[in-house]
Amino acid sequence: GQQVMQIPQYQHVQEGEDFTTYCNSSTTLSNIQWYKQRPGGHPVFLIQLVKSGEVKKQKRLTFQFGEAKKNSSLHITATQTTDVGTYFCAGHASGGSYIPTFGRGTSLIVHP
């Protein structure tokens, strides 16, 4: 079945440093979504990428979808303590799928 690998599992950064998490799928995706889960909270939708090579930005967050639609990344510039949490990617298999496959998540810890 489809697998979605996400690395790293944890990342410690000093406030102000950049952060990147990577997501790789074993199969081609129709889209990829990113979610953020704050400590003690529930996953909250951030963004969806659909097109090959697509790049989207949300303030200090940059999301990319690979040309082959099998990988994606989330980059945060100049991290802040409010960025703390676990970031999950979730991919829908191409050909039609109601249910995404979630990566295991990257936990970001920002030290002030």
Chain contacts with another protein (rule: CB under 8 A): 30-31, 33, 35, 41-45, 48, 50, 88, 90, 92, 96-100, 102-105, 107
Beta carbon of residue 32, minimum distance to another protein (angstroms, whole number): 9
Tokens of residue 100, six digits: 């995404």
- Whichever of 30 and 77 has its CB closer to another protein, that residue is 30
| Burial status of residue 91 (CB atoms within 10 A of its CB: 0-12, 13-18, 19 or more) | buried
Beta carbon of residue 43, minimum distance to another protein (angstroms, whole number): 5
Tokens of residue 5, six digits: 């690998």
Give the separation between CA 28 and CA 13, rounded to whole angstroms. 32
- Whichever of 44 and 68 has its CB closer to another protein, that residue is 44
Beta carbon of residue 92, minimum distance to another protein (angstroms, whole number): 4
Are the C-beta atoms of 26 and 3 separated by less than 8 Å? Answer: yes
